[in-house]
């Protein structure tokens, strides 16, 4: 789950990371005055709260000096779509502005903690030249970006020795920097983040470190360990309505753009199924991973979700029964169709544990199912069926 900037900063604040002063979140232009008053004299910064980065370059971050300028900028941003290099071409609607007191920047750094998939370890990444040009810098001068591998999720301060030297900071700044990095890594580990990025972390003209921006992505698979974030996810605009319902039900479900609804068990089988659909010339509308331990009720709820997607023109069920038994899947499906009308063709490939029982149950039900032997066969039938509807 992606956190918006203000949510990320709330988290940072809990761990003592220094942040700009804030006047709060403004969802309507009428509430701007209160936020500015809270902060006192300008200049202020109005920051569009959208998930994608690149807001500054797209005009979504406004430095304003007077209340009038602020009102004008708020009017231009609130309720409008902000198209950035990262969310183009659709953009995202700006539903809220995060208002902060502006700071005088002396140095802009890039710091992040993320997972290095090749190494299978968290890494800390640093660049002395942070800010809105970081992507270009990563392309043109990758040698300026340094990383430290975090063994056991911890960093040893010596790993960062000398990294801030070229910045010519006053004494003490380096130690304070290491403390902040330590906090960021602690947040990353304790909150089960997959990304935590501060760009920029600034050194102000007044001689303080401040996290000017913050982007946190939490690992969805660990949300069950963080009930407060699970609740947030169920309301987050990052997810479709069906995905939010799935989170609530503890079902793994992903919305996509195509026309074939997929029910599979296991992430690997899901990937293979999507590939086969693609090879057969179709595209998946979603996929539902019922996993290993689903019961009939979860299968039913999952199927209801999958069918609630209007894009679905055919359904492909691809189950390789291992721990999850085929008769349990069959029972879940039949349960679902007691309430739902199946308006689209259903292609089914069932294999594995108790497949005979599963097939018998489905056969006896009179439900119209297009059977398939192999995965390739199933994908082709689903694509053909979707075209006919």
Q: Least CB distance from residue 50 to Mn ion, whole Å?
A: 12
Instruction: Decide if 187 contacts 11 (C-beta within 8 A).
Output: yes
Q: Least CB distance from residue 132 to ligand GDP, whole Å?
A: 5
Q: Is 25 in the site for ligand GDP (CB under 6 A)?
A: no
Using CA atoms, how far apart are residues 54 and 132, in angstroms rounded to an integer? 7
Using CA atoms, how far apart are residues 121 and 115, in angstroms rounded to an integer? 6
Using CA atoms, how far apart are residues 113 and 189, in angstroms rounded to an integer? 10
Closer to ligand GDP by Cβ: residue 103 or 128: 103
Asked whether the CA dihedral 92, 98, 103, 106 is positive or negative, the reply is negative
Using CA atoms, how far apart are residues 154 and 120, in angstroms rounded to an integer? 14
Catalytic annotation present for 197: yes
35 to 74: interface string for ligand GDP, x by CB under 6 A: ----------x-x-----xxxx----x-x-----------
Q: Least CB distance from residue 213 to ligand GDP, whole Å?
A: 3
Among residues 5, 92, 110, 259, the one annotated as catalytic is 110
Q: Which stretch binds ligand GDP (CB under 6 A): 70-78, 99-107, 315-323, 344-352?
A: 99-107
Give the length of the chain: 389
Sequence-ordered alpha helix ranges (H) in 40-102: 67-77
Closer to ligand GDP by Cβ: residue 54 or 352: 54
Nearest to 254 by CA among 295, 289, 227, 221: 289
Among residues 100, 108, 197, 259, the one annotated as catalytic is 197
| 305 binds, options ligand GDP, Mn ion, none, Cβ within 5 to 8 A by partner type | none
Catalytic annotation present for 228: no
Phi/psi region, residue 53 (left: phi>0; alpha: psi -120 to 50; beta: rest), is beta
Q: Least CB distance from residue 144 to Mn ion, whole Å?
A: 17
Distance set, CA 122 to CA 155, 179, 180 (Å): 10, 18, 17
104 to 143: interface string for ligand GDP, x by CB under 6 A: -x-------------------------xx-----------
Total number of residues that touch ligand GDP (CB under 6 A): 18
62 DSSP β-pair partners: 46
Listed in sequence order, the residues at least 6 apart from 194 whose beta carbon sits closer than 8 Å to its beta carbon are: 114, 115, 217, 218, 219
Note the residues at the interface with Mn ion (CB under 5 A): 199, 213
Closer to ligand GDP by Cβ: residue 134 or 315: 134
Shortest Cβ contact with ligand GDP: which residue? 56
Q: Least CB distance from residue 223 to ligand GDP, whole Å?
A: 24
Q: 213: how many CB neighbours lie within 10 A of its CB?
A: 24
What Rg value do the Cα atoms of the chain yield, rounded? 25
| Contacting positions for ligand GDP (CB under 6 A) | 20, 45, 47, 53-56, 61, 63, 102-103, 105, 131-132, 199-200, 212-213
Residues designated catalytic = 110, 197
């Amino acid at each position: 789950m992606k956190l918006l900037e203000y949510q990320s900063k709330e988290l940072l604040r809990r761990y003592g990371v220094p942040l700009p002063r804030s006047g709060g979140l403004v969802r309507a232009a009428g509430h701007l005055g209160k936020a500015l008053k809270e902060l006192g004299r300008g200049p202020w910064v109005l920051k569009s709260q959208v998930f994608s980065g690149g807001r500054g370059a797209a005009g979504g971050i406004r430095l304003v000096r007077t209340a009038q300028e602020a009102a004008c900028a708020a009017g231009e941003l609130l309720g409008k779509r902000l198209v950035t290099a990262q969310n183009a071409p659709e953009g995202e609607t700006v539903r809220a502005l995060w208002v902060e007191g502006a700071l005088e920047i002396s140095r802009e750094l890039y710091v992040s903690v993320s997972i290095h998939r090749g190494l299978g370890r968290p890494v800390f990444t640093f660049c002395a030249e942070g800010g809105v040009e970081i992507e270009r810098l990563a392309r043109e001068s990758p040698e300026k970006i340094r990383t430290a591998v975090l063994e056991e999720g911890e960093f040893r301060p010596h790993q960062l020795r000398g990294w801030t030297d070229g910045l010519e900071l006053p004494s003490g700044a380096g130690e304070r920097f290491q403390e902040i990095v330590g906090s960021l890594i602690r947040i990353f580990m304790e909150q089960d983040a997959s990304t935590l990025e501060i760009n920029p972390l600034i050194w102000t003209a007044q001689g303080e470190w401040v996290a000017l921006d913050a982007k946190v992505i939490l690992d969805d698979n660990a949300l069950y360990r963080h009930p407060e974030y699970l609740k947030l996810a169920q309301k987050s605009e990052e997810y479709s309505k069906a995905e939010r319902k799935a989170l609530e039900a503890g079902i793994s479900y992903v919305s996509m753009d195509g026309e074939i609804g997929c029910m599979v068990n296991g992430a690997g089988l899901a990937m293979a199924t999507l590939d086969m659909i693609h090879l057969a010339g179709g595209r998946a509308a979603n996929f539902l991973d019922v996993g290993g331990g689903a019961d009939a009720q979860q299968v039913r709820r999952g199927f209801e979700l999958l069918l609630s997607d209007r894009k679905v023109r055919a359904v492909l069920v691809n189950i390789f029964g291992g721990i999850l038994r085929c008769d349990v899947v069959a029972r879940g499906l039949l349960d679902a169709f007691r309430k739902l009308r199946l308006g689209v063709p259903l292609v089914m490939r069932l294999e594995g544990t108790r497949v005979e029982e599963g097939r018998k149950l489905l056969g006896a039900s009179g439900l119209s199912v297009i059977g398939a032997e192999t995965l390739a066969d199933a994908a082709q039938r689903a694509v053909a069926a979707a075209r006919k509807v």
